[in-house]
Structure formats: structure tokens, C-alpha cells
Amino acid sequence: MWLLGFWIVMGIAVAVLAANKGRFGFPWFIYGFLLWPVALIHAAVMSPTADAYDRKMRQQNRVPCPHCAEYIPQAAKLCPQCRSELEEGWSKPKPPARTSQPSQTKPPQKREPSLDKPKRSDDRFMDHRGK
């Protein structure tokens, strides 16, 4: 009985490790429960997803540089990677530009079905009688 509990705990450990790297936990729990030695190594060496990495950087108050996309502190005035100077308030999102006129979008026009016979790629080889 303790062996089954150990396998469940190892499945949970693999799922937690994979979830911290941006993967879905339940499939990794099944994988870890069935093959925990392999799954544990796999989950430990895999790289985090781009979303998980971006979330981690934003928790550390780091944002991508507008010139080179390297993560740098929000308060930076100079990017340490590309050495470009950053203007004041560069890391704050800009509000959308307002227009004085509301945008008018036209509804999509219906296309009339073509009454002509569709062209075939071998039409150039046919003579005037259609053979």
C-alpha cells in the first residue's frame, strides 16, 4: 500500500515541476505516475514555455527592451544588452489613440456566383470544339 502512495506522490511531484515550467499538470501527473523515474528527469531538464518565462520575468519587474527584446529592469534608462538609450516612461503601455470620427466599417459584400464555366488548367490545349 505504501508503494502505491509513493507512486502517487511522485506523480504529483512531476506534475508540480512541469506546471511550474508552464505545462499542463494532469497529463504530467499520469506520465509521472506511470513512469516516474523517466518523467522526473524529463520534467527537470525541459525548458519552460515562453509564456512561463515571460510571466517569471514580469514578476521580477523586468520587461523586454523595445530595441533588442532582451528582458531588462523597468526602471532602466540604458539597455545593458544593446546599449540603446530608453526614453522616460518607455515601459508603460501606451493608451490607444482616439480618433474624432467613429470608425465606419462596411459590411462584407456578397459575391455573385460566376455563371461562366470554371477555367481548367488544360484549356489552353483544347481546340475550338472543346476537345
Backbone phi, psi, residue 107, to 5°: -70, 150
From the list 44, 43, 74, the residue with the least C-alpha distance to 57 is 74
CB 55 within 8 A of CB 19: no
Residue ranges of the domains in the chain? Answer: 2-60
For every one of its 131 residues, what pLDDT tens digit does the chain have, with 9 covering 90 and above? 888 889 899 999 999 989 888 888 898 899 998 988 899 898 888 888 877 877 777 777 788 887 787 788 877 777 877 877 777 766 665 555 565 555 566 666 666 655 555 555 555 555 555 55
Grid coordinates of 97? 489613440
Grid coordinates of 123? 484549356
In whole angstroms, what is the distance from residue 10 CA to residue 3 CA?
Answer: 11
